[in-house]
Structures are given as C-alpha cells and as structure tokens.
Structure 1
Amino acid sequence: MKLKYLILILLVGLAFTSCSKDSDSDSDAVKTVVPDEINDFVWKAMNSWYYWQSNVANLSDSKITSSNNYANFINGKTPDALFYSLLYQRGTVDRFSWIENSNEVVNVSKIAEVKKSGGFSYGVYPKDLNNVNLVALINYIVPGSPADLAGLKRGDVITKINGNQLTSSNYDQLANTQVSLTLAASVGFISTGLVTTDKAGTVNVTQTEIDENPVAYYEKKVYGSKNIGYLVYNSFKSDYNDELNAAFAKMQSDGINELVLDLRYNGGGSLETAVALAQMINGSFTNKPYAYLDFNAKHNSNDGFENLSDKVKIFNLVDNEPTFQRDESINSLSLTKIYVLVSFQTASASELTIQCLKKYISVITIGEETVGKFVGSNTLYDSPTSNYTSYANRSTKHQWQLQPITFTYYNKDKDVNPTKITPNHEINPYSTFLNLVEFGNVKDPCLKKALELITGQTLRTNTQNTNTSLSFRNDNLASFNPTNAAKGLYIEDFKSLKQ
C-alpha cells in the first residue's frame, strides 16, 4: 500500500508539473501585434507606388513576411514621421514627396483646389552672401484677395515678417494664417548684397479660401506685323482648363502670330492640362506621342505615352476634388515657335511643357535656371481594394493622404532629362528688383528681352538699373523658395494613360 501510495503521489506530482509547464508556455507565447491602421495604409501604399521603392530597404516586400515584426516597425510613429522616414535620400534625390492630413493647413498646390491663402505669390532671395538674411519679392497679387485689399502690389519687397528680419529660419511664416509684413521703401545694391530701407507701418494679411484662376493675365501687343500674345499662366489647374482654352480662343480672334508664355511662377499641376496646353500652342500633331511616363517595377503596366489630343477635359470641383464634366474642342494657334519666361520657381509640368514641346516646335527660354523637377505623382488614399488610388472608396475614419513621387517623365524620344533647364537667354534674377511692376509692362527685363527677340528691335524703357554684379544661382535660391516644393506634376485618372 505504501508503495502504491508513493507511486500515486509521484504521478499526481508529474501531472501537476506538466500543468505548470503548460501554464508557463501560455504566458511566454508570442502575442500578435496589431498594426496601426493609418500607418499600415502609409507603408503599403508606399510599398506599392513609390517610384524609388526598390531603393528603400524599409519598403522591401520582406518587411511583411513577419506580421509582428512589421507591426512593431510601423507602430509607435506618427503617420507623417513614418512617411518621411521611407523617402529615398530625402532632400537630395527626393525633394518633393509629401503627406498631408486635410484637417490641417498645409502648404500645397494641387491640380485643382480651393485653399487658404493670403493671395500673394512671392520668391525669396538671399540679401547677402551669407544666405541668412532674406527678402521676399512679390511676384503677383490675386485680384480681390486679402493681399489685394491690403494694398500689396507686384514688385513689393518684404523685409520683415511680424516685426522680425526675414531670415532662412522664419521665412516660412509668410504662409501663416495671419501675417504682418514690413515693406521696403527703397532697395539698393552693393557688391555684397542688397541694402534696404523700410516703409513706416506694416501691412496685415489674413488668409481666406481662394480658388485662384491660374490664367492671370493676357495682353495683345502689336509691333508692325507681329501680333504678340503675352500670357501669364501660374498653375496647371485642371478646374480652369476651360478658362485656358478660352484664352487661346481670344488669341485666335486677336490674330496672334507670336506668343510669350510666362511660366516664371508656375510650379506645375495637372498632366492632362500640360498636354492640352501643347495642343493649344500648335495643334498640328494630334494623336502623336508627347510625354513618356515611367513608373516603378510594380506598375510597369502604367508606363507609356501621353498623346496629344484635339479635346481637353473640363473639370469642376466637388468636395475640393476635380470632377469630370465634359470634353471641349481645343483652340489652337498653329505656332511653330514660342518664347517661354522661366525662373527658379518654374517646375514640373512647366518643365515638361518646355522639354516635350521642343520636340515639335522651337521653344526659346528666357530668365533663370528652373527647379529641375522631372518627376510626378498621384494622390494615394486609404483605399486598399482600389490599390490606394480611389478617392470614392477611401476610408472615412481619417483624412490622411499621400503625395509621393510615383513616376518620372521624358519627352517623346525618352531623352535623358537635364538637372535643370538652363535658359537660352539668362536674365540676372536681381534685375527684376525695382522693375517688376504690373504684368505686361516692358520694364520687366524678361518680357523686354522676349519682345526684342521677336521684333529684332531694341526697346527703350525707363528701366531702373540695379548696377549689381550679384548673380545668386538657383541652387542657392531654391532652398529658400517654398513654392518649389509645393507644386508638381499630377495625374487625375490612370485610365487616361495611353499604353
């Protein structure tokens, strides 16, 4: 009996020990980590579409082979911190991708958009060789905007923001909801930079919602047999395709046989609008290839040509998104040469217009080196069932959306793009100071040069001589120019791509 009792005790003990081991095993089991929903969207959309996906180790498909490792990697970061950590050589190779939460005020300009703005466009210039103190030159004012009502004018020079000298550390405050601006009363030039004196008082501007018409100015100038059209076009906004087409109809009726196209302040926009603009300028190459788009290896099916068409799509804004309304026949001028004004703020769709159009007609550029943005993007939404491209099918739990670089483009011959476009006729950017008055005034050095090239005449004006040897190239200027990163080349509808 004692032996049996002993055996029984041993068996019970073993059973207890076994149960204890099972319990320990349960407590040590690897728990499933749930990935953050928004960050999951950010990573997977970038993994699918980002142009440089294969160059970024943290976007490798191998990242999702272990669900827990993947979740641990993406969790614990804000969506924007995760996004920017995934960019390829951010700031050097990729200077243009961004993420936004539409609940927040962001500094962007899209293919079609009503946005908060003070209504003044500006370029930022180093005041001296140290590139610390800056001034901002107002490019133009949107009619009826807060800036217009406050009395700001094209050519005004901003020296201070909210009472402080404009610098490389605070110039981004120019995009704030409310700003107090100090303007220069005079601008002088010495060998090492600008010398300014300030006006008394300040100009206060409060932002409001503006749907800016990018067809900013048109004028017919007549010199002998030359009927010259001067068109200022500030953004490739697809909700203003009808206004752009109407401007070319007006030029048709005016008998325009020469065109000066001012893209100095145009940072890009809609690909379809860019293609339509080429047709409006010439019109003789319908259905011919215009631009070639190249996506990453996961989207080779989207590689292909955008062809010239005799129709332009007309869009209206619905929920601040471009919504197709109708096709409209394009009004063409049948020009074989145009003159394009460019600057360190000219980018993307504007550069596409120059690079692709010159394969068909003569394109003479005047001004400064351009940004060098030969890449584009499409907006990515949290709509995984539609491969992140559908606005209608997006998750409504949040309002994050991505604008990463998803393709690069080439002209019809797929020529390698330059780093930047160097104009045929360079104009010192500082020569515009004191000479930038209303659009169309021939005091403007770039416009004056274009008119002289067209007419073969030397135009006499009361242009003020800046007497400056300053010639800061836009590799300095671009780093201080918020417009450069704000715009780009965008695609409305992937179904429109020609294969």
Structure 2
Amino acid sequence: MKLKYIVKTLLVGLFFTACSKDSDSDTNEPTTTKPDEINNFVWKAMNSWYYWQSNVSNLSDGKITSTVAYNNLINGKTPDALFYSLLYQRGIVDRFSWIENNNDIVQVSKIAEVEKKGGFNYAIYPKDASNTNMVALVNYIVPGSPAALAGLKRGDVITKINGSQLTSSNYNQLENTQLNITLAASVQFTNSSMITTDKAGTVTVTKADIDENPIAYYEKKVYGGKNIGYLVFNGFKSDYNDELNLTFAKMQSDGINELVLDLRYNGGGSLETAVALAQMINGNFTNKPYIYLDFNNKHNSEDGYKNLSDKVKFFNLVDNEPTFQKEENINSLVLTKIYVLVSFQTASASELTIQCLKKYISVVTIGEETVGKFVGSNTLYDSPAYDYVSYANRSTKHKWQLQPITFSYYNKDKDANPAKITPDHEINPYSIFLNLVEFGNIKDPYLNKALELITGQTMRTAAKSTSPSFSLKINNLAAFNPTNTAKGLYIEDFKGLKNNK
C-alpha cells in the first residue's frame, strides 16, 4: 500500500469538525500565574500563522506584553474553545479552520489517507423550501467497499437513516461507523417539493479502511468525428500521480482531441497534482507561473508562485516528512479548450484548476456554483522552536494540533477570486435524480450538455424526466457532503517551493 500524507491542506469543509467537543464557553478553572501549556501553544501558533491574525484583536502582538493580561486571556478555556474564539468572523469569513485532539488518527487519515469510510460519496438535498426534510443522493460507490458489497449504486436516493427520516439535524449520522439506510423506490416532483416512496427493508453499511483511487472513470467517446475523453477525477492525490499520468498516456494513444473533466465530487488535494494536471491538459506553458500563494505579514517570505513543469514528481513519507522519490515526463494532450463539470461539492484544488488554467486556455464550466474555497492551511504542531510546523519535533505531552487558514491563493495575475465559481452553463441540480446510472451514461444531464457543446448536436438519451420546476438553494451547510471535507490542498515539498522562488 502506498504511503500518503498531507503537509499543508486547503480545507474543503463547511463544518468545524474536531475530535474534541467544540465549546465556546469558558470553564470555571481559576486563572493562574502561569500560562496553560496547551493554550499557550494554541495562541502563539495562531499569532504566528493565522491568515487573518492582524484582524483579530485578541491575536495582536500586544496581548503578550502583559503576563497577567495574557494569562487571563488564554487560561480557563479548553484548547478548542480558545481556538474557535480566535477565528476571524467564524462561519462567515473563516468557514474552514479547525482544531483536533488525536495525532494518531490524524497521522493515519492525513498522512496515509487510508480512512474508515462506508465507500459511498453522497450529497444532501432539501425536499422542499423548509430545508428540514432531506434526501441523500449517492454520487458514486468505491469499488470493493462496504457500500458496494451491500449493493448500493450510483443514483440511489437515501430517505431514512436507522429508521428515521433524513433531516437537517440528523444527516451527519450518515458518517456513523455502522448505519441502516432506507432507499427510495420512486422520486417525483411537484411545483415546490420532492416526493419519495420507500423501498421495503434497509441496507446496512459498516465502515472499513478504504484507500480510494481518485481516478474513478475514464472513457473514450466518439461523436461527430471527435475523440472525446471523459475523465471522472475525485481527488488530487499525489501518490496517484503515476496513474493520472498513465491515464493521459492512454488518452494520447486514443487520439483524444476534446476533454470532459468531471470534478463534481472533487473536494481538492495535492498542489503538485493540480499543477501537473494543468500540464497534462495543455503542456505549452512550461516554467510559466500557475498559482500564487499569499501568507500573512509575518510569513511574507513564504509568498510566491508555483510554476508549471514538464515533470511530475512523486513523494513518499520518510521519518514523517514528505520526501521526493522520483519524477517522470508529463504526458500532455496539448488541448486549448476543456469542459469541466462542477457542483456545490467542487472545491479547493478543483477551483484552483479552473481559475488558474483559464489564464492559459479556454475552460468551459457546466453545472452549479462551486464552494468558493480560495484559502489554505498549514498543520500546526506544538513545536515552537520550529515555528509550529514540525511534526517530528512536536511535544508529546498532548495530542492537540491546529488546522487554521494560513494563506490565500490566486491565479498567475493575482486576480481577485470570486465568492464562488458560477458555471458558464447552469444545470438544475435536481435534474440528475433518476438519471445517475453508471459513469459515462449520457443520461447524465451534465455530461449530456458537455457533449452537445462539443459536437453541436443534440444527444439522444433515454433519460427519465424528473421535470423539477424548482431549484432549491442547496449550496449551504445542510447540503454539503461532509465526506468530502478532509482532502483540501497540500504541498509536499514546502522547503523546495521556498528554495525555487
């Protein structure tokens, strides 16, 4: 099994998940004359790295000039309460920072990226404008996973969990270790709501360790004399750079001259992979700047560009540090235009690909508004002598570590980022109900639209018409799939990035 790792993540969550209880209230612990050791780490690491440090009065350098005032500020709080109290307009500006209290879990899930999952990716949809009753649409199934073995399929609609109607209050139970789910037998639409009827019985799914291949599907389609590649890419994982490069080699041999890149379920991943993907698509702009990273004023030395390269790098984990192993020549299609499928689950490195690549070639987007995630994060450890970024030199007295936003990113011209990416061709998200079968089936309205744009022809399908006359606001907390929140954007060779500026 390949080792995987995350050094720096561009977090794709709209949830403030933590392994500890998230409490914003102070405890009744008395103020002492010495700073709490863990809280001292939390405050000083945030003071050094937090992107909005200058906007948070309680993170100003002046807070540490008075020992008594500083101790009063940080003591008497749980570490997570202190952390969340220091965020800049939490939930409005900063929607993505978190803290967690289990290095062992973090090391497995973020370094190895082998996670306990049921093996089905889903999205939550309101049944009507009240945003109370929900359904979960299964986007895809990981082959060989518990969900696959249980018989779940892409396009299944989950209506109940453990016998209870899925709602805005309980849908997070879909992340439980074991769950019994009820599936819809039928889905219909009125002018203002979705109506479902249930199948008899339930499906049981128990989580297991899963190493998901992000290259979910590739197919060559031939229409109107065009060789169209359809690639479903569900995560920017650098340990799969070789498979991604081989996929583009296959496209070369297939004579692909048009590409539909499906990023609807892609919550982000490796910066190295994102840059390599751009080169695989075009390849004519080697050594040109691709992405610009901007840190706070205390870390201006980290600011800089990541350039396009005709080589793709591979890394491995050595002594808990990502270490360069080898590189290969990139296989490029030399395309000057691509079509990208997007959704309200498209975020981070996927949005980077759209925003940065379109400075060089034409990028046509099809689908829904994306998440709007143009900031990123370092993992911070209690290693003050190493400015809180060394895992190997962290304190072993506790297991707290931080994942705050520490930088923003921009395209090569440093253009202001939009709140969200609005697609060039919008698709009603409810139109996919009853029309998601296997990947590549042109019943899928998103893929169908891309093929029509490429060929100029109407694609004949046997699609079932759900004919929804409404499109509820689904790009919100209740609709975002929490299973996609852990990937983000990470940089394997941070030291190398600095040295190459």
SS of alignment partner, residue 354 of structure 2? helix
Does residue 48 of structure 2 align to residue 45 of structure 1? no
Q: Which position in structure 1 is the counterpart of 2:98?
A: 98
2:171 aligned with 1:174: no
Shift of 1:320: 8.3
Unaligned runs of 5+ in 2: 1-30
Match of 1:142? 142
Q: Deviations over 1:457-479 (max 9, x none)?
A: 11110011111111123444765
What corresponds to 1:357 in structure 2? 357
The one-letter amino acid of 1:413's match is D
Matches of residues 313-352 of structure 1 in structure 2 within 5 Å? 313-316=313-316, 322-352=322-352
Structure 1 distance, partners of 2:383, 2:160, is: 44
For residue 490 of structure 1, give the secondary structure of its aligned residue in structure 2.
coil
Structure 2 CA distance for aligned equivalents of residues 423 and 320 of structure 1 = 40
Q: Contact conserved, 1:111 with 1:237, CA < 8 A, in 2?
A: no
2: distance between equivalents of 1:320 and 1:97? 23
TM-score, with length taken from structure 1? 0.89
Q: Report the equivalent of 2:396.
A: 396
Structure 1 residues 86, 125: closer, same or farther in 2, change over 3 A?
same
Structure 1 position 270, deviation (Å): 1.6
What TM-score do you get using the length of structure 2 for normalisation?
Answer: 0.89
SS at match of 1:370: coil
Aligned: 1:125 with 2:125: yes
- In the superposition, relative to structure 1, how do residues 193 and 146 fare at CA in structure 2: closer, same or farther (>3 Å)? same
For residue 217 of structure 1, report the CA deviation from its aligned partner.
0.9
Gap change, CA 1:223 and 1:285, over 3 Å in 2: same
- 1:11 maps to none
Indicate whether 1:269 and 2:269 are aligned. Answer: yes
| One-letter code aligned to 2:75 | N
- For the residue of structure 2 that corresponds to 1:269, the secondary structure is coil
User: How far 1:281 sits from its partner (Å)?
Assistant: 0.7
1:296 aligned partner = 296
Who is 2:285 aligned against?
Answer: 285
SS in 2 for 1:204: strand
Cα 1:311–1:391 shift into 2, 3 Å? farther
The C-alpha deviation readout for 1:404-438, integer Å capped at 9, x for no partner, is 11111111111111111111111100000000111
Aligned pairs for 1:95-494 (under 5 A) are 95-102=95-102, 113-316=113-316, 322-476=322-476, 480-483=480-483, 485-494=485-494
> 1:163 touches 1:180 (CA, 8 Å); kept in 2?
yes
Aligned residue type for 2:437? V
Q: Are the counterparts in 2 of residues 113 and 317 from structure 1 also a CA contact under 8 Å?
A: no
| Matched position secondary structure for 1:430 | helix
Q: Distance in 2 between matches of 1:400 and 1:132?
A: 35
Give the whole-Å Cα distance in 1 for the aligned partners of 2:468 and 2:443: 17
Percent identity, aligned pairs only? 81
**Matched position secondary structure for 1:469:** coil
Tell whether the 8 Å contact from 2:319 to 2:392 is kept in structure 1 after alignment: no
Q: Which amino acid aligns with 1:411?
A: N
Residues of 1 paired with 2:118 and 2:265: CA distance? 16
Q: Secondary structure at the match of 2:179?
A: strand
SS of the aligned residue for 2:355 comes to helix
Question: Secondary structure at 1:489's aligned position in 2?
Answer: coil
Cα separation, 2, equivalents of 1:466 and 1:343? 19
Query: 1: distance between equivalents of 2:329 and 2:395?
Result: 37
Native 8 Å contact 1:111 1:236 kept in 2 = no
Contact 2:179 / 2:206 at 8 angstroms: preserved in 1? Answer: yes
Instruction: Output the CA distance in 2 between the equivalents of 1:320 and 1:252.
Output: 37
The 10-residue stretch of structure 1 (35-44 or 257-266) with the greater mean CA deviation from structure 2: 35-44
Q: Deviation of residue 187 (structure 1)? A: 0.6
Tell me the CA shift for residue 116 of structure 1: 1.3
Aligned residues of 1:120 and 1:142 also touching (Cα < 8 A): yes
Cα drift, residue 360 of structure 1: 0.3
Report the equivalent of 2:83. Answer: 83
Asked whether the equivalents of residues 182 and 201 of structure 1 are also in contact (C-alpha less than 8 Å), the reply is yes
| SS in structure 1 at match of 2:365 | strand
Q: Aligned partners of 1:234, 1:476: CA distance in 2, in Å?
A: 21
Q: Is the 2:124–2:134 Cα contact (8 Å) retained in structure 1? A: yes
Report the CA distance shift for 1:169/1:216 in structure 2 as closer, same or farther (over 3 A).
Answer: same
Whether the 8 Å contact between 1:315 and 1:324 is mirrored in structure 2 is: yes
Q: 1:236 to 1:366 in 2, by over 3 A?
A: same
1:44-83 paired onto structure 2 within 5 Å: 44-83=44-83
2-side partners of 1:343 and 1:104: how far apart? 33
State the secondary structure of the residue aligned to 1:228.
Answer: strand
The one-letter code sitting in structure 2 at the alignment partner of 1:275 is: V
Shift of 1:483: 4.7
- Counterparts of 2:382 and 2:311, CA distance in 1: 32
Larger relative contact order, structure 1 or 2 (CA cutoff 8 Å, min sep 6): 2
Moved more, 274-283 or 354-363: 274-283
Distance 2:319 2:438 in 1: 34
Higher helix share: 1
* Cα distance in 1, alignment partners of residues 269 and 308 from structure 2: 17
Deviation, structure 1 residue 64: 1.4
Per the alignment, do residues 231 and 359 of structure 1 end up closer, same or farther by CA in structure 2, a change over 3 Å counting? Answer: same
Q: 1:223 to 1:415 in 2, by over 3 A?
A: same
Contact in 1 for aligned 2:279/2:310 (Cα 8 Å): yes
State the distance in 2 between where 1:144 and 1:487 align: 21
- Quote how far apart the aligned CAs of 1:350 are: 0.5
SS in 1 for 2:278: helix
Cα offset, 1:220, TM superposition: 1.0
Cα distance between partner residues in 2 of 1:430 and 1:129: 13
Contact kept in structure 1, 2:235 and 2:267, CA below 8 Å: yes
Residues 44, 62 of structure 1: alpha-carbon distance in 2 compared, 3 angstrom cutoff: same
Structure of greater Rg: 1
Task: For 1:318 and 1:218, locate their aligned partners in 2 and report how far apart those are by CA, in whole Å.
Answer: 33
Cα distance, 1:197–1:319 mapped onto 2, change above 3 Å:
farther
- Shift in CA distance, 265/318, structure 1 to aligned 2, threshold 3 Å: farther
* Alignment partner, residue 28 of structure 2: none
User: In the alignment, residue 273 of structure 2 is paired with which amino acid?
Assistant: T
Query: What is the RMSD of the two structures over their aligned residues, measured on CA atoms?
Result: 2.1
**Deviation of the 1:93 alpha carbon:** 0.5
**CA–CA distance in structure 2, aligned partners of residues 245 and 412 of structure 1:** 24
Query: What CA distance in whole angstroms lies between the structure 2 residues aligned with 1:183 and 1:81?
Result: 39
State the Cα deviation string for residues 140-189 of structure 1 (Å, max 9, x = none): 11111111111111100010111111111111111111111111111111
Which stretch shifts more, 407-416 or 394-403? 394-403
